Amino acid sequence: MPPRLISIVEPMLMKDKVADFHPWLREAIAEAKSSGLEREASKLEQRAFAAYTTSSELLGETGDAIREFLHSAGRSVPPTVNKKLRACLAEIGKVWSKFAP
């Protein structure tokens, strides 16, 4: 079943739609914590699920947090976590080109 699509900004302002990647992100964070990356995954979780003023800000901050997690955890990131986080970045990249694959 394809992921549910969510509008990024009011439809009249922006027509881009991004798949709701939050389930993938939650799964990746849980897997990372259980693989011994508790500190790094908790930091990612705090930033990714904080309150932001705009959806654009939310996506940009989440993308930055994911990149920082991948960089700080390096080769310790399990392949399944890496794959899910890369899928999240691909969705964010639909709005923020710096995160596009």
What pTM value is reported for the model?
A: 0.80
Tokens, residue 64: 């930055």
Question: Which residue type occupies 14?
Answer: M
Phi, psi angles (nearest 5°) of residue 6: -125, 145
Tokens, residue 51: 């309150």
Residues 6+ apart with CB under 8 A from 1: none
Residue by residue, DSSP assigns 44-62 as: HHHHHTS--SSHHHHHHHH
- The full set of domain ranges for the chain reads 21-99
Per-residue pLDDT reduced to its tens digit, 40-86: 999 999 999 998 888 889 999 999 999 999 999 999 999 999 999 99
Q: What is the dihedral of CA 20, 31, 45, 15, to 10 degrees?
A: -10
